[in-house]
A and B are shown apart, each in its own frame.
Chain A
Amino acid sequence: MGPSLQANEWVDKYGDILYNYTLKRVSDKGLAEDIVQDTFLSAWKSRETYKSDASEKTWLFAICKNKIIDHYRKKSTSNVQYAEIDTTSHFFDEAEHWTREDQPNEWGINYHQPVETKEFYGILDYCKKKLQELQHSVFVMKYMDDLSAEEICKVLNISSSNYWVLIHRAKLQLRKCLELNWINS
């Protein structure tokens, strides 16, 4: 098989799934495209060394995951400053009680029953993308990719207290966003 034919086949077979995977982990389409392109380029360069005991798909995903982590890491120098910006101060009043505006209201659903409608997933994705970038990264690494708090702090170059603040803010905002756009709509 000629090289460009093989490249064509690869991109056809794995392009969309890698793109989907990446798009859920970074908040921007152009960036996701760049990461997928980088993944294919790196894979192509190292295809001689690729051992066939792992499937081709697993191997490409491993490269892609590393590219995403690299992206998070690259941004890490500015992360400490970003971690300080409070986007959730309106949730609580001076006595640190919930404000009427932002308090959790009853959703009237069974919280143990997974919701699997297309509508719900669309809104959840929308709400995730509305998170501040660093909150988004922390949320994705923790709850989509199951990284430990320690690993996340290392990759993003943030302190453990930054981590808890970011998790806290991400949850406050996701909850509020879902209530507004899913429950109340």
Chain B
Amino acid sequence: MSLLNISCKQATYLISKKEQRKIGLFDRLTLRLHLGICSLCRRFEKQTGFIIKQAKHTHTEEKLSEEVKEKIVGSISKL
């Protein structure tokens, strides 16, 4: 029985491996058993899944300052 029991720390590792499809059959089974009884790890899986899906999208727009642009043009003309 204890062989099938994993901790939350182990379970959260396995969640990452599962998400990247790098989980073996045995680990898949122990993770499923853990998630069946642990609402905190279920939440972790949902929330990190959400974060990953959001990771690519970003709306932050920053601009290069005029000084840096001039510096770059300057260094090109010195070539």
- A residues at B contact (CB < 8 Å): 3-4, 7-8, 11-12, 15-16, 19-20, 23-24, 33, 36-37, 40-41, 44-45, 91-92, 95-98, 103-107, 109, 111, 114-116, 118, 120-122, 124-125, 139, 142-144, 149, 164, 167-168, 171-172, 174-175, 178-179
Asked if B58 is an interface residue, CB under 8 A from chain A, the answer is yes
Q: Which of B53, B62, B73 contacts A11 (CB 8 A)?
A: B73
- How many residues of B are counted as interface, with CB atoms below 8 angstroms from the partner's CB atoms? 41
Residues of A within 8 A of B64 (CB): 11, 15-16, 19, 33, 36
Asked if B32 is an interface residue, CB under 8 A from chain A, the answer is no
Most buried by B among A11, A16, A174: A11
Q: Which of A7, A37, A118, A168 contacts B59 (CB 8 A)?
A: A118
Q: Are B16 and A164 in contact (CB under 8 A)?
A: yes
B interface secondary structure, majority: helix
A interface secondary structure, majority: helix
Q: Are B59 and A121 in contact (CB under 8 A)?
A: yes
Residues of B within 8 A of A122 (CB): 60
Q: Are A143 and B16 in contact (CB under 8 A)?
A: no
Residues of B within 8 A of A174 (CB): 48, 51
Q: Are A144 and B48 in contact (CB under 8 A)?
A: no
For the A-B complex with A19-B63, A37-B72, A122-B60 known, give 12 more contacts whose Cβ atoms are closer than 8 Å: A11-B69, A96-B8, A97-B8, A104-B43, A109-B50, A111-B50, A114-B54, A120-B54, A121-B58, A139-B55, A142-B20, A149-B20
Q: Are B77 and A107 in contact (CB under 8 A)?
A: no
